[in-house]
Amino acid sequence: MSKKDIPYKIYLSESELPTQWYNIRADMKNKPAPLLNPGTLEPMTLEELSVVFCTELAKQELDDTTPYIDIPEELMDFYRMYRPSPLIRAYCLEEKLGTPAHIYYKFEGNNTSGSHKLNSAIAQAYYAKKQGLKGVTTETGAGQWGTALSMACSYLGIDCKVFMVKVSYEQKPFRREVMRTFGASATPSPSPDTNVGREILEKFPGTTGSLGCAISEAVEAAVSTEGYRYVLGSVLSQVLLHQSIVGLETKAALDKYGVKPDIIIGCAGGGSNLGGLIAPFMGEKLRGEADYEIIAVEPASCPSFTRGVYAYDFCDTGKVCPLAKMYTLGSGFIPAPNHAGGLRYHGMSSALSQLYHDGYMSARAVSQTSVFEAGEQFCRVEGILPAPESNHAIKVAIDEALKCKETGEEKTIVFGLTGTGYFDMTAYEKFNTGMMTDSAPTDEELARAFADLPVVNK
């Protein structure tokens, strides 16, 4: 392979690790719409947000003008343990597909939390500790975020209470146990520990829970416990800020070898991975310095970009959180039970929603069997068993590479490989045994969910 001038893995040295996060909102002409107080319907103030979030994180949430924000040195120390993450040239996949396209993926699964979620988890835990808090509360669905946060809190020595969607809690005992090994508590949600949880349990005794419900419980637990704040793994602008390190590293690695991508692909649930990966590229696009085709990939069973409406909506089931303007399927929407893995949030990052609305990126919804098929194909040649979420990006990367095969174009495709699938083998088993099925909401279901949108949109 001496003829190959790009290495299989492009590692940056520690000294090339970005020392600032990039805040995409600073370069947006149309800023994302502000979070609204659900009572007054006025934009949330720093004081109001600081009841729920650490003050420093609330500031980051409101800051849509500062383009670069220094990463504190203590955080850099943690990042240095597992970052820079590798940018990998998928030579083996290219060969297998017989495509002239050049495919790269940014691999974020090389840390024990198993995903990119750690980048924001450690930042949020850090600010909580700096503020002198005892601990944080959060929710987790598929478990990547809860795992990452447990790891971060364990490292910093603060408490971590995770409300885990009940169905995941029961189906993913190993994921739960990783959190416990890191010293966190994991409570199945809905739980009898909160008012919201008790109400929902009373109304729907057999419910297996939802992300929106777990969020409500985690927020309630935070605001009602002295010395605690709530943290969230996606959707928020602060999370996209922290995740920008993924994109900054990707761009630095490509720049090092003079490679300019044509297409950038990321899976999108709440937007943490996609927003982080595309950040510096989107920045160039917004400033008119370069052009890239940017594609968000979402599950057909939870298609907020492709079938949602752009409106203010509740972020949680209990309706205790601020309202966000976003592409949403309605806060009551829950993906069909056969949907595996994450990417199951009803809404989407406000910043990404605005960018999508303004035409800076496109979106595709894909069926989960096609997604697992792509993931298995990838895994057998590239030697990484991807998370179901990552498989969405792989699917569209392969689709685009096969288009290049037809046209003969040598496009450069970059996608985000957000994590590993070690804890998703039940889903792989379903796929391997032909038991996996697809689903998508009907128009009637969506219409019912949209009817529940808050009155502020009228």
**Residue 11 touches its own copies, criterion: CB under 8 A:** yes
**Residue 383 touches its own copies, criterion: CB under 8 A:** yes
**Residue 377 touches its own copies, criterion: CB under 8 A:** no
**Residue 21 touches its own copies, criterion: CB under 8 A:** no
**Residue 337 touches its own copies, criterion: CB under 8 A:** no
Q: Cα-Cα-Cα-Cα dihedral of 163, 165, 169, 170, to 10°?
A: 150
Shorter beta-carbon distance to its own copies: residue 120 or 210: 120
Q: Which stretch binds its own copies (CB under 8 A): 37-45, 80-88, 230-238, 241-249?
A: 80-88
Q: Considering Cα of 283, then 285, then 289, then 290, what sign does the dihedral take?
A: positive
For residue 174, the minimal CB distance to its own copies (Å) is: 4
Please list every residue from 164 through 183 that binds its own copies, using CB under 8 A.
173-174, 177-178, 180-183
For residue 441, the minimal CB distance to its own copies (Å) is: 29
**Residue 379 touches its own copies, criterion: CB under 8 A:** yes
**Residue 110 touches its own copies, criterion: CB under 8 A:** yes
For residue 7, the minimal CB distance to its own copies (Å) is: 5
* Residue 11 DSSP symbol: P
366 phi, psi to nearest 5 deg: -130, 150
Please list every residue from 111 through 150 that binds its own copies, using CB under 8 A.
111-114, 118
**Residue 14 touches its own copies, criterion: CB under 8 A:** yes
Q: Which residues contact 414 (CB under 8 A, 6 or more apart)?
A: 103, 104, 105, 106, 250, 254, 261, 263, 264, 265
Q: Which residue type, as a one-letter code, is found at position 222?
A: A
**Residue 340 touches its own copies, criterion: CB under 8 A:** no
Q: Which stretch binds its own copies (CB under 8 A): 45-53, 222-230, 308-316, 377-385?
A: 377-385
User: Which tokens hold the place of 268?
Assistant: 């999108």
CA dist., res. 120 & res. 101, Å (int): 32
Shorter beta-carbon distance to its own copies: residue 43 or 173: 173
CA dist., res. 370 & res. 376, Å (int): 10
Q: Which stretch binds its own copies (CB under 8 A): 6-14, 63-71, 324-332, 410-418?
A: 6-14
Which one of 382, 416, 417, 450 is in contact with its own copies (CB under 8 A)?
A: 382
- The residues facing 296 across adjacent strands are 266, 363
Which one of 16, 41, 422, 457 is in contact with its own copies (CB under 8 A)?
A: 422
**Residue 252 touches its own copies, criterion: CB under 8 A:** no
Number of shown-chain residues binding its own copies (CB under 8 A):
50
E strands, 66-148, are 68-70, 87-89, 102-107, 135-140
Helix 368-382 × helix 388-407 angle, to 10°? 80
Pairing of strands 135-140, 185-189: unpaired
Q: Which stretch binds its own copies (CB under 8 A): 79-87, 158-166, 348-356, 440-448?
A: 79-87
Specify the DSSP element, H or E, that contains 18.
Answer: none
Q: Is 170 helix (H, G, I), strand (E, B) or coil?
A: helix
For residue 151, the minimal CB distance to its own copies (Å) is: 6
Specify the DSSP element, H or E, that contains 293.
Answer: strand 293-299
CA dist., res. 204 & res. 216, Å (int): 16
Nearest Cα residue to 136 out of 222, 234, 52: 222
Cβ(149)–Cβ(126) under 8 Å? Answer: no
**Residue 309 touches its own copies, criterion: CB under 8 A:** no
Contact positions toward its own copies, by CB under 8 A? 1, 7-9, 11, 13-14, 73, 76-78, 80-82, 88, 91-92, 110-114, 118, 151, 154-155, 173-174, 177-178, 180-183, 376, 379-385, 420, 422-423, 425-426, 428-429, 432
